[in-house]
Amino acid sequence: MLRIHFTPEDLVRTRLACRPDPLWEIAASLHRLQSQLGRWAHAAWYRDARAAIATQQLGAVVRTLLFPLFPRATYFPDFLTPAEAGHGLKSGLDAILDTPPARVRHEIGLLAQVRNVPTDMYRLADKDVRAELVASLRKYHNAAIAPYSDRMQARVDAECARRGRDLLHGGAEALLGGLGPAMRWRAPVLEVEYVGGVDRDLHLGGRGLVLIPSYFCWQKPVSFADPDLPPVLLYPLASEGPVPEHRPAEAPLSALLGRTRAAVLLAVTYGATNSEIARAVSVSPANASHHTTVLRDSGLIASHRHANTVLHTLTPLGAALLRLPDQDRQITVPPVTDSDVTGVT
């Protein structure tokens, strides 16, 4: 178990990242490719990622370079997920490229203690070799992660809407107390069921904590191994399960959304309850409830119990719909298979 110790200053400085971290998502997605755990929840992505990796001839790079660097183990090098990636993929890759060679050698040595690594892995201390790694990470991201960026952002937006309400109504302690089930807030300590059964303590010492919701992280949170790095905690978003295959694709959206229902969908952008929707759209709470039921049944919003109310947030499909310039356009949802094929070719 990871025990994260907070001071009053840490509670004030704890924050929630409201965009996916591209390098942490690369790491977590590579773990998904190496395991059947959580395959059902990422079935469509697994199918699409394998196809993209094969089409773009990235199989050898994934198997011989990325899998050894990002093993499903209790450790992988911290320099591969720098804090700069919170500002975008380019910033994160630039930080990897600028990592001091001594740190690269040290962390590859730590990796060798938990997994057999190819001898030439130490060559990553050479900036030119690291540039090749950066190019490979960018290609993998473009092939396997970028096509799902809208869906990932919609899920993170929904998470931020829920957690933001916890923070607004109960402060940082309410935020930390609602993160379960793998995390338990026992003030002033956040107890985290950690990958691999690791048992250690992390004292924040006034630095605060960045909570990073992750699309590909599965079941148990992850943090840096080095306690001196800026504290972060990557934690899994609650699984939605596979996307249903049946959607009324033959009906134009104009038949689904009239002016009021479109306004209701827009009101849900950052999360809203029925009462808030009713005030925003100038309808009765009962009318708002009717519209949210239709939108939920159509797969455009999701509803979550929040304290004594129900909080509605956009699904990836709903978020995509709001970005469409033509509301008469038809939307189809790609069918999801639950293939259990293993390995990367």
pLDDT given for residue 61 in this prediction:
94
Least confident of 55-59, 168-172, 195-199: 195-199
Per-residue confidence (pLDDT) for residue 326, from 0 to 100: 39
**Residue 139 pLDDT exceeds 70:** yes
Reported as a single tens digit per residue, the pLDDT across 227-264 is: 999 999 999 987 654 444 334 433 344 456 777 888 88
For the chain, the distance separating the N- and C-terminal CA atoms, rounded to the nearest angstrom, is 35
pLDDT computed for residue 337 by the predictor: 33
- Of 25-29, 125-129, 203-207, 289-293, which gets the smallest average pLDDT? 289-293
Q: How far is it, in rounded angstroms, from Cα 28 to Cα 222?
A: 9
Per the model's pLDDT, the better-predicted residue between 271 and 342 turns out to be 271
**Confidence at 188, pLDDT banded by 50, 70, 90:** very high
Q: Which residue has the higher pLDDT, 219 or 336?
A: 219
Q: What is the mean pLDDT of residues 160-175?
A: 83
Give pTM, 2 decimals: 0.75
287-342 tens-digit pLDDT: 888 898 888 888 888 888 766 778 888 888 887 777 654 333 333 333 333 333 33
